[in-house]
Structure 1
Amino acid sequence: MSAYAIRAVQAGDDEGIRRLLGAPQPSALLALGFERAPSYLQAATVSHVQPEILVAQHRDTADIVAVVNLGQRPVFVNGERCDVRFAGDLRVAAAHQGGRLLVYLSRKMRDILGESGWYQTIILNENERSRSALAQGGRAGMPFYAPQINVETFTLTGSKQQEASTDCSVRKATVSDIPVMNGFVQKMSRYYQFLPAYDFNGLLTGEAYFRGLSIQDFILVERHGDLCALGAVWDQKAFKQTRVVSYKPWINLLRPVYNLWTRLLGGLHLPPAGELLDYRLVHSPLTTPDDTEAFAVLLQALWEHCSQAGGRALSLSLSANDPRRTVIRNFRHFFMAGTHYLASFSRDSLPVLDERLVPYFECGRL
């Protein structure tokens, strides 16, 4: 018998999952902890409309040593609304990596998916361990991973001088704008693959998928009276946090000087070890793919909104073939890259995608 019980999540697992996710993740410069306070199960309803969470519990210690959320969310695939699974929050405790735990977890995932089911997932390019164990593993009992495209997450830390648009006007959204905003999402589904099928009425009803957002957080850009861009600044710290656990000694020594430099020229502020990183996320940055003018106006307005609220870093994700990436050069920024995969236990079950559509990724739900 396996040393692990692989099962659906229970309410009593919340603390164990948060302990697992918050364990320090070392990198070349610092160690980070990814937290979900006060409740992982609540945070899971933001990334997935229908969470479906599996855990691995060690039979001897009763510790939660692995977790994955294989839940569903409504997105547009080839222009049609579908409920699509996204594998997120996959984590295996360090002491249990390298064995057969991932195989046991995959068997349970196969029970859920069957032979015809498939899901999306993203693996950071620098995460060699996960890429080797999953996407490049080829181990019996593991799903087949089909690479799609690179996903780039940009963190804006300052704005450069930009030319003002003479055609576009900017304003904050109001409740009366929601029908037009919903119609705009429908229109954008003709251009983007995996665009979330948003119904912004959920902002008014307290829908968990929009936790941390209100209609006042949304910016609208209009051209000659017609909506041409929308987006919001999303502060997720009430349910999702990134904590600096420790720095390399030389980074800690230089941190005060670096922070002074970022205060003058822009950059991500580095807090003392033990404190949280302070950043915001862009929600639903939508324009047509070729409308770089409206996208530039939108990003500038979102950056100003973020700055006025005290934020000094703003993140968004774009696919590597999104024409709007050129606008990022208007901002001081840094980025990290990942690869988008479709995965299934049967190669034949993967969807045939319209390659004319630009893949869409919502930074706050990855």
Structure 2
Amino acid sequence: MIAPVVPLPRSRFDIELATPADDQELRALLRRNPIPGSISVTFEREPDFFASCRIRGDFFQVGIGRDRKTGRITGLGTRSIAPAFVNGEPMPLGYLADLRLEPEYRGGTLITRGYRFLKALHEDGRTRLYTTMIFAGNSVALKTIASGRAGLPTYHDMGALYSPGINIRRTKPAVAAACDILRGSYELLPEIVDCLNRNNARRQFAPMHTISMFRKQWRGFGVENFYVAVRDSRVVGVLGCWNQSSFKQTRVVGYALPLRWLVPFANALRPLTGAPRFPRPGEELAYFYISFIAVDNDDLRTFRALLRTAYNDAICTRYLYAILALHERDPLLPVLREYSLTPFSGRLFCVTFDGGKNLFWKLDGRVPYLEAATF
């Protein structure tokens, strides 16, 4: 007797690539799903989700889960690929970001199915490795996707990534560093790009740049936003100040205890302390990114002079914070102690499927670097 074949029920969800027709719903999903922590925030992408993804590279994909019954998008994640330095050599490097899942769909199989979909995308062979950053307060993500669960790619912990907000308070004394600090220009751009690439090659996962990227790819960033250290007619260090509020926003949703009780008192004392005011729930943060950090020989004096000049120029503007990212082993990190900081951090992971594990185990000891502006 032949046993009858019982067809398996079709899944309630479709996992597929989003299209521009999904843009409005994707932006709404980001607004509804804050990143937890002592300060809960939403990372928003108004007015165009897809346009905001382009700062991570020319190639990106947006994966979504869709409820068949309602047609509603239940979750999303992005995959982007751009040239970066791995062991000092330029190669395509992937970046995984924007993982969100509506609360009522958590705890099921959607995460596993989503990663199965990602693995199928990965088979295009565009990259062997990915990086991703999980914020320290996101305990759910740290306990699930980064825990080595069956069916998920391997998340290799690469250490802490500090991404504090430098509180824009009062003017600080200028720093002498035996160099001139200039603003960027198209005349200096070739030397700026050379400085970025020779120093990024000393870092693990740092982006590789071309002149054309600074002419068209970095939305909202112009060459005049660079601060350039010049010594003996040579560019020896750079950093950029990047305001992305026209296409990316961070909004405060709420404060966990004890901050919830402390914030009103801290704000009341602000006129005396000069500290930036804690935003009210629902308020957008006023900040810019310190990006494109590169300093020859990791010279602390040069970095101090660049950062101090950028900081002082932000005094009496609308900005409350300047946000940057440095790895826990970065030799430039001690300079941040000279500033009042609003702490924020996460864990950096290198993500591999089977085909990338050999390359991962060959990674040398270079200090990782990721651009905070592309989180």
TM-score normalised by L of structure 2: 0.89
Partner of 1:358: 367
1:88 pairs with 2:92: no
Q: 1:332 aligns with which of 337, 340, 349?
A: 340
Q: Distance in 2 between the 1:364 and 1:264 partners?
A: 32
Write the letter of the residue equivalent to 1:16: E
1:221 pairs with 2:229: yes
Partner of 2:178: 167
Quick check: 2:76–2:99 contact (8 Å CA) kept in 1? yes
Partner of 1:20: 29
Partner of 1:284: 292
Deviations 1:272-329 (A, max 9, x none): 3332111111111111353111111111111122225432210100011001111011
Q: Distance in 1 between the 2:57 and 2:104 partners?
A: 28
SS of residue matched to 1:271? coil
Q: Distance in 1 between the 2:180 and 2:274 partners?
A: 26
Write the letter of the residue equivalent to 1:56: G
For residues 42-61 of structure 1, the aligned pairs below 5 Å read 42-61=51-70
In the alignment, structure 2 segments of 5+ residues that lack a partner are 1-9
In the alignment, structure 1 segments of 5+ residues that lack a partner are none
1:142 pairs with 2:152: yes
Quick check: 1:77–1:353 contact (8 Å CA) kept in 2? no
SS of residue matched to 2:315? helix
Quick check: 1:23–1:34 contact (8 Å CA) kept in 2? no
Larger mean Cα displacement after TM superposition, 37-46 or 339-348: 339-348
Partner of 2:165: 155
SS of residue matched to 2:53? helix
Write the letter of the residue equivalent to 1:154: P
1:197 pairs with 2:217: no
Q: 1:118 aligns with which of 121, 129, 133?
A: 129
Same amino acid, percent of matched pairs: 23
Larger mean Cα displacement after TM superposition, 333-342 or 11-20: 333-342
For residues 170-181 of structure 1, the aligned pairs below 5 Å read 170-181=181-192
> Kindly tell me: are residues 160 and 87 of structure 1, through their superposed partners in 2, closer, same or farther at Cα, counting changes over 3 Å?
same
Cα RMSD between the aligned structures?
Answer: 2.4
SS of residue matched to 1:70? strand
Quick check: 1:21–1:35 contact (8 Å CA) kept in 2? yes
Q: Distance in 1 between the 2:94 and 2:337 partners?
A: 33
Q: Distance in 2 between the 1:28 and 1:336 partners?
A: 10
Partner of 1:71: 80
Q: Distance in 2 between the 1:26 and 1:226 partners?
A: 43
> Kindly tell me: are residues 202 and 308 of structure 1, through their superposed partners in 2, closer, same or farther at Cα, counting changes over 3 Å?
farther
